[in-house]
Structure 1
Amino acid sequence: MARHAIASGEPSVRLLRVGEQVRHVLADILQRGDVHDDVLASHVVSVTEVRMSPDLRHAIVFIKPLLGRDEEAVLKALRTNTAYLQREVAKRVKLKYAARLKFLSDCSFEEGSHIDALLRSPHIAQDLDGSED
C-alpha cells in the first residue's frame, strides 16, 4: 500500500505526520518569541504547512505573516535564523537526521481569493445561476 502511495506522488502518512509535528514546533517557537530577532518579534507569523522530503532530511516551510505585511523582511529574518530553528526542531522532534529547513511564502490565500473573485464575477455567476437541462 505504501509503495502505491509513493508511486502516485502523494505523501505517505508518516511524511504528513512528521511535517505536522515540525509545523507545531516551529509555530510554538515563533509564538513564544524564542528567536531573538527584532523583525520576528514585531510580527505574528503563521506556519501554514510543512512539506517533508521522502527521506525526512529536508523540509519546506510555508509561512504567512499576519495581514501579509513585510513578507520579504520576515522571510529574510527566518532565513537568517535557520540554523537556530533547525537545532530547536531537531531537539523537539526525535528523528534520525535533523531536517534542513527552507522557508517560502505561502501563496495559497491569494490563489483562493483569486478563485473566489472569479466565481463571483458576473460572467461566471450567470452560468452558475442558470438552470440546467
Structure 2
Amino acid sequence: MAKNANRAGKAPSQRQLRVGELIRRTLSETLNRGEIHDPDLNRMSITVGEVRVTPDLRIATAYVLPLGGQGQEEALASLRENRHEIRRIITKKMGLKHSPEVRYAIDDTFDRMDETRRLLSQDNVQRDIAPLDDTDDTQS
C-alpha cells in the first residue's frame, strides 16, 4: 500500500487522522523517555514523523527515522522486535479498547524534499521558472 493512499483510494477520515496523531505522539513520547525494556532501542534517537491508520483502525503504520538517518535497518529491527511491548504501552497510555497492530517503515519524506530541492535548483529548471525579462514589455 502506498504511503499517501488508503485501501479505498479515499482521503483518511477525521477519526483515522486523530487516532494516527495520538499514536504518533504516544509512540514518540515512549521512545524519547526510554520506556521500552531494550537498552539497544533506548540508545537510539528515533523520530516518528507520521502514523497512518487503516479505515478499520486495526493497523497503524509508523513512519520513523533515526537521528541523522544512520542505522535505519537496526532501528526498524529493534522496533519490530519490541512491537508487543510497544503495543501494550500505547494501548495502556491511550486507553484504547482495541489497540492497532503497529508496523514500522522508514520515513523518506526528508529524502524526497532534498530530491525536490535538487531538481528545482538545476539550471534548466531555474531558466524555465525564472520570471520573464522586463525588457520584453517595452517593445509593445
Q: TM-score normalised to the size of structure 2? A: 0.85
Counterpart residue number, 1:15: 16
Counterpart residue number, 1:111: 112
Q: Which runs of 5+ in 2 are unaligned?
A: 1-6
Give the total of aligned pairs: 128
Counterpart residue number, 2:3: none
SS of match in other structure, 1:21? helix
Q: Distance in 2 between matches of 1:95 and 1:64?
A: 26
Counterpart residue number, 1:3: none
List 4+ stretches of structure 1 deviating above 3 A.
none
Q: Which runs of 5+ in 1 are unaligned?
A: 1-5
Calculate percent identity across the aligned residue pairs: 34
Counterpart residue number, 1:66: 67
Paired amino acid for 1:27: S
Q: 1:117 to 1:32 in 2, by over 3 A?
A: same
Counterpart residue number, 2:58: 57
CA RMSD of superposed structures (Å): 1.8
Counterpart residue number, 2:48: 47
What is the CA-CA distance between 1:38 and the residue it aligns to?
2.9
Paired amino acid for 1:108: T
Counterpart residue number, 2:4: none
SS of match in other structure, 1:75? helix
For the pair shown, the structure with the greater C-alpha radius of gyration is 2
Counterpart residue number, 1:98: 99
Are 1:25 and 1:89, in contact at CA under 8 Å, matched by a contact in 2? yes
